[in-house]
Chain A
């Protein structure tokens, strides 16, 4: 009983009596190393001991001979971060220090977020890209470095912008190009590149215009080929709305574009006012003759 109690108290006392460690003593630890680089740690004393290097990125332990230099080859410690270095001897005495692992300076991987994947042509700052720069060990490289963003349109024209990273990240906003098709959005840094594909679709109809012609008792309405403001053909299926107002009454017909145009026949009321629209875009207006 007494023994059990003494054991418990001893355990508690041992925990409470943990020494407050300071860097140094006889322990020589590099202050910083580059990720993956070889390094060494010199301990003091004699006899056998254990060397620990622990952090949230890695945990290492080596059985060592106290007083000797312990070598860590290339690739031993590669996750950037802060590490506690502890050397303990058989007697229980311990020394500790700390070690910072910094990322390699050369980029090896870019995490490239590009949005949207599809958008209308000619949109100011419509395409955005953000790049996080990583080294070969997937450490974020916080040192500032240039990232080139290049957006190549379907006809080969290219917008390019170079931005320096801040805390490992760079971003830009670019205009979508005037021509519909597929853009290549590329980010480059330190010889590494990452590419995203952006689809550009025509914008809203621009200069929507219809013409009217008699067709028996009806009037045949037909749009000119519907294009956006950059001259791209608006896709088939886009709805065009024809509205005829006559004598206080109004009739409306929605027609999908086919082969770039919309056409419909409506009753030919003399004096009727006929308008055309697509979404919020209004076209011309025709007053049908008496």
Chain B
């Protein structure tokens, strides 16, 4: 019994250490390439990119735990609807997915003239893992380019479109 307790403790410590050791993704921000009449303040750009990067964490948590409510802070509109439907499908099928972003290369490409949307392109490196009834099935490394549209909410920018684009 003591051995079992010790083993569980060891695993728990190892799991904690592993969690703590998860590296933050590297982030590279390219200079904005805008053709609109509205100037983009540095603070606005930083806030939009910060909120977008955080959205990957909540997306991962939502898809890994099959909890659409975890999307509410960061997603809105079609992006939220689509992710929510995916989570419902996953839950129905008994599967979960884990997304771990390793690197982002972000460039803001559009700031709408009335200030109500920002579009950015993100070339992302991430790992995807598929679990079926908690059993790992496959893991894949992905390099993909995403088109992202953000719109302002009361306190933060929310993701309205998140769509991988074939390069």
Contact = CB atoms under 8 A, between A and B. Distances in A.
Interface of A: 1, 4-5, 8, 12, 14-15, 18-21, 32, 50, 52, 54-61, 79-82, 84, 86, 88, 94, 96, 98, 100, 102-103, 113-116, 125, 128, 130, 132, 138-140, 142, 166-169, 171, 173
Interface string B114-157: 10110101000000111010001111101010010100000000
A239 to B, nearest CB: 30
A129 B162 CA distance: 22
Interface of B: 1, 3-4, 7-8, 11, 35-37, 59, 63, 78, 82-83, 85-86, 89-90, 93, 95, 97, 99, 109-110, 112-114, 116-117, 119, 121, 128-130, 132, 136-140, 142, 144, 147, 149, 161-166
Given A8-B8, A52-B130, A56-B99, A84 B93 contact: no
- Residue among A82, A114, A139 with the most chain B CB within 10 A? A82
A128 to B, nearest CB: 4
Contact of A167 (B86, B99, B109, B112): B109
B7 A54 contact: no
- Residue among A54, A84, A98, A167 with the most chain B CB within 10 A? A54
A19 B137 CA distance: 9
25 contacts: A5-B4, A21-B138, A21-B139, A32-B166, A52-B137, A56-B83, A56-B162, A59-B95, A79-B82, A81-B164, A84-B128, A86-B138, A94-B137, A96-B140, A100-B164, A115-B114, A128-B112, A132-B161, A138-B82, A166-B109, A167-B110, A168-B119, A168-B147, A169-B112, A173-B37
A60 B86 CA distance: 9
B59 A167 contact: no
A56 B86 contact: yes
A128 B37 contact: yes
A142 B164 CA distance: 10
Given A56-B86, A96-B140, A167 B3 contact: no
A98 B136 contact: no
B114 A52 contact: no
Contacts of B142: 82, 84, 98
B136 A18 contact: yes
B149 A132 contact: yes
Nearest to A128: B113
Contacts of A171: 36, 110, 112-113
